[in-house]
Chains A and B, each alone.
Chain A
Amino acid sequence: GAGVSQSPSNKVTEKGKDVELRCDPISGHTALYWYRQSLGQGLEFLIYFQGNSAPDKSGLPSDRFSAERTGGSVSTLTIQRTQQEDSAVYLCASSRRGGEAREQYFGPGTRLTVT
């Protein structure tokens, strides 16, 4: 079956512009995570959606970052007024509900470059 897909694969934007990154999780997966991966750094948790529960936004680095998940499926991560330090690879992952051993299936990521 289809895995997690993300679009665009690459995005170059000017400082100050807004960007939207999209994630299509695996069908039937109720949990969805967004991470940021900067060069030489581990994955940084941004936000977590689980079913219809309120999302865990504790990892969002500033109020310029927001995310939504429509209909329990597709998710969009929005970064407003982008800054150069926002340049990174943004990874989305989904998993089945239940159990601490749940495996996260990752998308290929969106490489964001802010000039």
Chain B
Amino acid sequence: KNQVEQSPQSLIILEGKNCTLQCNYTVSPFSNLRWYKQDTGRGPVSLTIMTFSENTKSNGRYTATLDADTKQSSLHITASQLSDSASYICVVSASEASGGSYIPTFGRGTSLIVHP
């Protein structure tokens, strides 16, 4: 069964600090992994997408890593800002060409709160 597990479930940090969110998955055959940011009362918005051959991808202060061998990904946020307070969702898609489902598998998200 395809699964995506995220940790921690919630995290509180002070403004300006860095943090790292974790994602472990068992989706097979793997196609790509996305990190989404979901602000309260809004739909998720894609931050990064990574395919099998990519190890690191950055989007401003957000840096995602992928280890396809261990099936782990992380999202590192540098110099956090109050606006980073949100839920961060890891989403893994299977390879349709290899017989996988076209419905992505969503993690439950990590709720990040940044305090001034």
Contacts and interface: CB of A to CB of B under 8 A. Distances in A.
Given A100-B102, A108-B42, A108-B43, A41 B96 contact: no
B106 interface: yes
Nearest to B105: A42
Contacts of A56: 103
A42 B31 contact: no
- The majority secondary structure among interface residues of chain A is loop
A17 to B, nearest CB: 24
Given A40-B108, A100-B97, A108-B42, A59 B4 contact: no
Contact of A93 (B4, B43, B89): B43
Given A42-B108, A100-B93, A101-B32, A107 B49 contact: no
A101 B51 CA distance: 8
Contacts of A49: none
A65 interface: no
B51 A42 contact: no
Interface string A88-115: 0001010000001101111111000000
Given A100-B96, A106-B43, A108-B43, 8 more contacts: A4-B43, A42-B4, A48-B102, A56-B103, A59-B103, A100-B31, A100-B94, A108-B41
